[in-house]
């Protein structure tokens, strides 16, 4: 068997055997098959796709290249929620405590962000001395006590994905839907769960810009999960404007805490409630969205979800009192206000542009080596559908270094599309695929 023959076969749109996938991936991980041949294979996949059987086996082979985490001592219904990433996406901050308060648990792998703003790890690391679980034993201990378990990715989890992703990054194959699906699902399947919920963002601030691409990615990921016996559901959510009002790290933690106190932005609430409803429904505890909403409202009202977040922060090395004292979070030195240049209704807020406006002041990373400034970020004052007049406050920039502040301000003004026609707020839940 030769790598060149496997590449040629995929080039001709022929289905690979399990033995051929084994040969290719084992050889690449071992360093026997060179980058240039794997690059050619990835490009062949980009143009010619993979069948359901190929992609499922390819994904399992990726997963099996490293450690698989199981939880023999966790007697919970385990929900693993994954987001494809967006601007202002603080869903995990809110979701984990709510699920735990309802008798379920999250035990999932989370990453640092590269791009607009930080990932889940970066958000929580805004809290002084907060440390994510670094080993399975730590994850089990924290999740066992709180129902919330978040662990950073390690080199031992799906090492083949890390190696292939680095190659995709420099060969223009990052946006291949089957390769995205296998990358995400190999990591989801590497950790035990009863249910995988995929929050697939769609629109301006998302990786998937069109509903058609988001549907296709969702379908492929759901196929992989369900075909190996892991119930998988995709929720397509709108990212044509940032989620919530805060973009950054410490400020997104604050917005998450406020949500657990019942002070929601409508869009964040819609997304979180839908995901919790799906979890409760598939656990067999509710039949309707209304039943689920009542249960969520109760754990918000009685403070149970907020108390769980406090305990999770304490057990992770931080000071749980942050839920009542935001002064424990890093604060920006300065705030600059941004004003509307037009009269009318907010038709659109270009989420990607807002994300970039946050990144240039330090809230995100342009390269893996960049340091995040947890204190900085953007606070939106107007959302889609709101009436604005010229001179109205539309956003605040919270910053420490004024180096790129004018650039950030200009990007925010450009991001706000104001027109004369009255607008409705955007629909946040677009589709469910299972």
State the Cα–Cα distance between residues 131 and 81, nearest whole angstrom. Answer: 20
The Cα 367–Cα 372 span in angstroms is: 11
CA distances from 232 to 179, 185, 227, 413 (A): 18, 10, 9, 39
Task: Considering the candidates 187, 201, 269, 398, report the single residue annotated as catalytic.
Answer: 187
User: Among the options 133, 176, 183, 316, which is catalytic?
Assistant: 183
168 is catalytic: yes
The token pair that represents 243 in the structure block: 């989620």
Catalytic residue among 122, 161, 204, 311: 161
Question: Is 161 known to be catalytic?
Answer: yes
Decide if 236 contacts 434 (C-beta within 8 A): no
Determine whether 409 is an active site residue: no
DSSP result, 307-372: HHHHHHHHHTTS-GGGGT-GGGS---SEEEEEE-SS-EEEEEE-HHHHHHHHHTTTSSBSSTTPPP
Chain centroid to Cα 283, Å, comes to 23
- CA distance linking residue 260 with residue 282, whole number of Å: 23
**183 among known catalytic residues:** yes
Q: Give me the residues paired with residue 334 across strands.
A: 399
Residue 130 main-chain phi, psi, to 5 deg: -65, 130
Q: How many CB atoms lie within 10 A of CB 235?
A: 23
**What is the DSSP code string of 85-99?**
--TT--HHHHHHHHH
Beta-strand pair 104-110/148-152: parallel
Residues 156-180 as b or e (16 or more Cβ within 10 Å = b): ebbebbbbbeebbeebebbebbbbb
198 HSE (CA, 13 A, CB side): 32
Distant-in-sequence, close-in-space partners of 159: CB < 8 Å, separation ≥ 6: 29, 65, 66
CB 171 within 8 A of CB 60: no
Cα(296)–Cα(95) distance, integer angstroms: 10
Please pick, among 10, 108, 168, 295, the residue that the annotation labels catalytic: 168
Our answer to whether residue 310 is catalytic in this structure is: no
Read off φ and ψ for residue 89, nearest 5 degrees: -85, 90
- Enumerate the active-site residues: 82, 161, 168, 183, 187
């Amino acid at each position: 068997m030769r790598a060149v023959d496997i590449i040629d076969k995929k080039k001709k749109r022929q289905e690979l055997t399990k033995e051929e996938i084994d040969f290719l991936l084992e050889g690449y991980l071992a360093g026997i098959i060179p980058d240039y041949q794997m690059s050619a294979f990835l490009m062949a996949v980009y143009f010619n796709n993979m069948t359901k059987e190929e992609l499922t086996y390819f994904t399992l082979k990726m997963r099996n290249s490293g450690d698989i985490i199981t939880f023999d001592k966790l007697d919970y219904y385990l929900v693993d929620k994954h987001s494809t990433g967006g601007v202002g996406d603080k869903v995990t901050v809110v979701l984990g405590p709510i699920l735990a308060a309802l008798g379920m648990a999250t035990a999932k792998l989370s990453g640092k962000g590269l791009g607009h703003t930080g990932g889940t790890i970066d958000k929580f690391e805004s809290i002084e001395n907060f440390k994510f679980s670094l080993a399975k034993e730590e994850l089990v201990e924290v999740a066992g006590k709180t129902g919330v378990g978040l662990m950073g990715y390690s080199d031992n989890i799906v090492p083949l994905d890390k190696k292939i992703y680095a190659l995709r990054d420099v060969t223009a194959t990052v946006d291949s839907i089957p390769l995205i699906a296998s990358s995400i699902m190999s990591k989801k399947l590497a950790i035990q769960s009863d249910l995988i919920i995929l929050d697939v963002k769609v629109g301006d601030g998302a990786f998937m810009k069109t509903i058609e691409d988001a549907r296709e990615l969702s379908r492929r990921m759901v196929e992989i999960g369900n075909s190996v016996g892991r119930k998988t559901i995709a929720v397509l959510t709108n990212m044509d404007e940032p989620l919530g009002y805060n973009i950054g790290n410490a400020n997104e933690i604050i917005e998450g805490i406020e949500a657990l106190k019942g002070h929601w932005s409508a869009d964040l609430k819609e997304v979180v409630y839908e995901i919790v409803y799906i979890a409760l429904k598939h656990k067999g505890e509710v039949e309707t969205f209304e039943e689920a909403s009542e249960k969520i409202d109760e754990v918000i009202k009685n403070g149970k979800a907020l108390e769980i977040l406090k305990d999770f922060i304490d057990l992770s090395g931080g000071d749980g009192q942050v839920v009542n004292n935001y002064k424990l979070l890093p604060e920006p030195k300065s705030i600059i206000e941004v004003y509307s240049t037009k009269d009318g209704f907010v038709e659109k807020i270009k989420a990607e542009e807002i994300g970039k406006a946050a990144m240039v002041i330090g809230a995100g990373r342009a390269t893996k080596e960049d340091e995040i400034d947890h204190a900085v970020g953007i606070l939106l004052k107007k959302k889609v559908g709101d009436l604005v007049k010229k001179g109205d406050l539309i956003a605040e920039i919270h910053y420490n270094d004024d180096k790129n502040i004018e650039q950030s301000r200009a990007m925010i003004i450009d991001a706000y599309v104001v027109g004369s026609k009255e607008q409705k707020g955007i629909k946040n839940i677009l589709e469910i695929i299972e």
